[in-house]
Amino acid sequence: MRAFRVERYGSKEGLRAGEVPDPRVGAHDVLVKVLAASVNPLDFKTRDGEFKAILPYKVPFILGNDLAGVVVEVGEAVKGFAVGDEVYARPAKDRIGTFAELIAMHQDDVALKPATLTMEEAASLPLVALTAWQALVERANVRPGQKVLVHAGSGGVGTITIQLAKHLGASVATTTSTANVDLVRSLGADVVVDYKKEAFETVLHDYDVVLDPLGGENLEKSLQVLKPGGICISIAGPPDADFAREIGANPVIRLAMSALSFRTRRHARRRKVTYSFLFMRASGNQLREITALVDTGRIRPVVDRVFGFESTPEALDYAEKGRAKAGKVVITMT
């Protein structure tokens, strides 16, 4: 099969197309013909080696973390999937490789594709929708009437998190640029802060939950808008000891991660709030929950641009340089 592999870390030229053996299908695996995949910041950061400490992939490896496609083979122990099923998934972190014609995944990571979506639309969802679900439902336990701030509301994670927060009954604020004010309002944002015109930390206060996909100074300022007892969940900030335990890191890595987040955690404690780092995980069960929300019109994907498979490096470059106006960048095999 044809695939895009990272042959060396640290450069765009390290990602190359080539012929590789078809995946082996285990007893609990489904083999999927990939019809569409999508691009996430995780892809180019992985390509560049930024996550080698926690995601130690041995080169060469196939890149890609989102897909939609059709089941073409099932393992002998698989239940609930059959050849011909249309599915979507975010593979487990140790089985990535969606920038390819085929991928084998554990059945627990896969869900039937929302019937109302095209393959390209479905491929845009798994990683960002699971991130939103695990942040708002699992980690923050968002309840009706709470106030949620979603940064970068027009981005891949932001567009879905706004919609999920509204479904959960929250009042939602978001930050975005002038060009995307109308878009985020159409997704359900109650309060929109145009970051080109005003600083969010000066106009927002007493929030229960903040989802931060930006890190750095934005994360530090986000702690200021929380009320006591609130939580700031970051997917870009420094990893913490809880995350190190989740991934089974060795004591040295756990200590290093704790040190990286020490300043942020101390700042949070002083404000009587909580800081939490989130690195989403694969979950077919949660995707099934998301499918129901999509098919009932509660959540809709936002796709910025679709590239052909042979243009996968250009798709990553387009996303990495921030050229997407809103939503996700998708790669199609057709």
Q: In Å, how far from its chain's centre is CA 148?
A: 18
Q: Nearest Cα to 138, choosing from 292, 285, 295, 328?
A: 285
- Alpha-carbon span 149 to 204, nearest angstrom: 9
- Alpha-carbon span 208 to 52, nearest angstrom: 33
Q: Output the pLDDT for position 53.
A: 77
Q: Give me the helices (H) in the chain, please.
A: 41-47, 119-123, 126-133, 156-167, 181-187, 200-203, 216-222, 241-246, 251-260, 262-270, 284-295, 312-320
For the chain, residues classed under CATH 3.40.50.720 are 127-277
Q: Output the pLDDT for position 56.
A: 84
**Superfamily for domain range 2-124+301-332:** Medium-chain alcohol dehydrogenases, catalytic domain (3.90.180.10)
For the chain, residues classed under CATH 3.90.180.10 are 2-124+301-332
- The burial of 197, by beta-carbon neighbours within 10 Å (0-12 exposed, 13-18 middle, 19 or more buried), is given as exposed
Q: Output the pLDDT for position 258.
A: 82
Render each residue's pLDDT in the chain as its tens digit; 334 residues: 999 999 999 888 999 999 999 999 999 999 999 999 999 999 999 999 988 877 889 999 999 999 999 999 999 999 999 999 999 999 999 999 999 999 999 999 999 999 999 999 999 999 999 999 999 999 999 999 999 999 999 999 999 999 999 999 999 999 999 999 999 999 999 999 999 999 999 999 999 999 999 999 999 999 999 999 999 999 999 988 788 778 777 788 778 888 888 999 999 999 999 999 999 999 999 999 999 999 999 999 999 999 999 999 999 999 999 989 999 999 999 8
- Alpha-carbon span 150 to 191, nearest angstrom: 10
pTM: 0.96
Asked whether 240 and 136 are in contact (CB, 8 A), the reply is no
Q: Output the pLDDT for position 251.
A: 82
ω into 56 cis (within 30 of 0): no
Asked whether 165 and 144 are in contact (CB, 8 A), the reply is no
Q: Output the pLDDT for position 148.
A: 98
Q: Is 292 helix (H, G, I), strand (E, B) or coil?
A: helix
Domain 127-277 CATH assignment equals 3.40.50.300: no
Beta-carbon contacts of 59 under 8 Å, excluding residues fewer than 6 positions away, are 5, 6, 7, 8, 9, 14
Count CB neighbours of 235 within 10 A. Answer: 20
DSSP structural state of residue 104: E
Q: Is 297 helix (H, G, I), strand (E, B) or coil?
A: coil
Strands, sheet with 191-194, edge to edge from the N-terminal-most edge strand: 191-194, 171-176, 147-150, 207-212, 226-234, 274-277
Q: What CA dihedral angle connects 309, 159, 30 and 246, to 10 degrees?
A: 120
Q: Is 230 helix (H, G, I), strand (E, B) or coil?
A: strand
Task: Give the CA distances from residue 96 to residues 107, 246, 251, 269, in Å, rounded to whole numbers and listed in that order.
Answer: 14, 18, 26, 36
Beta-carbon contacts of 145 under 8 Å, excluding residues fewer than 6 positions away, are 169, 170, 171
Q: Output the pLDDT for position 257.
A: 82
DSSP structural state of residue 237: S
- Alpha-carbon span 322 to 318, nearest angstrom: 7
